[in-house]
Each structure stands twice: as C-alpha cells, then as structure tokens.
Amino acid sequence: MSIGGCVLAMQGIGCVAIATDHHLGDASAPGQRIAGDFKKVFQVGPRMFVGLTGFVADVNTVWDRIHYRQNLYEIKENRDMSPEAFTTMLSNLLYEYRFGPYHVQAVVAAVNPYSLNPYICSIDLIGAPTKRDSFVFCGNCDKQMHGMCETLWTPNLEPEELFETMSQTLTHSFDRNITTGWGATVYVIEMDKIMERVIDVRKD
C-alpha cells in the first residue's frame, strides 16, 4: 500500500499558507520511495485549499467525493462555499465512514471570501475538526513539524515572513524524517492573490 507524506498550514496576518512535500512512499517498506511528484494539496475555491494525506486510494476517493459534494452545494446555493461550510462537509463525510474509515487526514487553509479572515483547520480520519489560529499539520512527520512550528512560528507574520517560516519548518522537519521530502510546494493565500513556490529539500 502506498502512503502520502505530510501537509502543513500556518496563519499570518490577513493570509494563510499551506504546503506539502512531494514524496510518495510504501507503507510496507518505510523509507522506500514510489514517486517524487505526488499531489496532496488541491484548490477548492478562489482562496481555499485542502491538503489530504494517507493511503493513495483513499486520498483519491475522498477528493472525488468532496469535489462532487462541493459542486452540488454551489449549484444549489449559487455561491462559493465558505471554509467553515467546507470543513463541516468534509468532517461529515469522514464521520459517515467512522466504523470503516478512510485512512486520510486533512488540512483546510483559506481566506474567507466573505469576512476575508484567515482560516486553518485540521481534520482526523473520523472527521473530528481542530481549528487553530497558529498552525496545523497532518501526515508522517507530525512530531518533527510540531517542534519546528513551536520554535519558528510567531503571530502576525506578513506573507513573505510566512513563506520563509513555512520553508524553514519543512526543510528542518524533512531532515529528521526519511518518509518525507523530495521537494515541497508552498501556497501563500492572500485576499487578492495566491503565491505558489517550489522549494528544494532533501532527496535521498
């Protein structure tokens, strides 16, 4: 079985950032790489992204299901889905299968299209959401990222400062975990633009 790497989101002042590594590994052989370009972060709105980690088949299935439900919502309501509504929808989907859960964890990062407030939230495999005003993460190197986030993150980061903090956190976390890496993509979401940058990290 193949397993995804990690996703990290941080909140700044009027902005949020979400990032993922590119590693796809084998759950039965830790440290073995299957691919170095596996997509884990998806754009689901003008200012909203979701990151999914876990078994590849479950990640793809959950992505297809939430994309379908989001389309139905937006057709019926004739408006973009808010981050809070999207989180509730994803949480409900995962909770429906709690007795035979999808092996997926999720992170939602957005700037609310109506209030323009930054929003980040993590969701575990049975749909329990955890909203934070600092940082959230999921995936293989959660212990390493927790320590680096606690060390590097500070409130009220500007977009460039947020990108630098994300990059340093990912780089140092990947150095301490062999099941992640092979490059990373960072998205910084502001009210009027989205910045996407690829950073070079360990590839061994």
User: What mean pLDDT do residues 11-36 have?
Assistant: 76
Task: Report the chain's terminal Cα–Cα distance, integer Å.
Answer: 21
pLDDT tens digits, 112-158: 988 889 999 999 999 999 999 999 999 887 788 888 899 999 999 99
Specify the pLDDT at position 174: 81
Q: For residues 45 and 34, give the distance between their C-alpha atoms in angstroms, rounded to a whole number.
A: 30
Answer yes or no: are the C-beta atoms of 41 and 74 closer than 8 Å.
Answer: no
pLDDT at 1: 38
For the segment 89-105, the average pLDDT, to the nearest whole number, is 94
By C-alpha distance, which of 83, 77, 141 is closest to 111? Answer: 83
Residue 120 β-bridge partners: 109, 132
Residue 141 pLDDT:
79
Query: How many whole angstroms separate alpha carbon 103 and alpha carbon 90?
Result: 14
Residue 35 has a pLDDT of 61
The contacts of residue 187 (CB under 8 Å, 6+ apart) are 17, 18, 19, 41, 49, 109, 194, 195, 196
> Does domain 2-199 sit in CATH 3.60.20.10?
yes
pLDDT at residue 93, as a whole number: 96
Instruction: Give the model's confidence band at 2: pLDDT under 50 very low, under 70 low, under 90 confident, else very high.
Output: very low
Q: What would the pLDDT profile of 43-86 be if each residue is shown by its tens digit?
A: 998 999 999 988 888 989 999 999 999 999 999 999 889 999 99
Has residue 32 got a pLDDT over 80?
A: no
pTM: 0.89
DSSP string, 38-77: ---EEEEETTEEEEEEEBHHHHHHHHHHHHHHHHHHHHHH
Taking 3-state DSSP, the helix, strand and coil percentages for the chain, each rounded to the nearest 5, stand at 30, 35, 35
Residue 185 pLDDT more than 60?
Answer: yes
What residue segments make up the domains of the chain, in order of their start? 2-199
CA torsion angle for 3, 83, 187, 166 (degrees, to 10)? Answer: -80
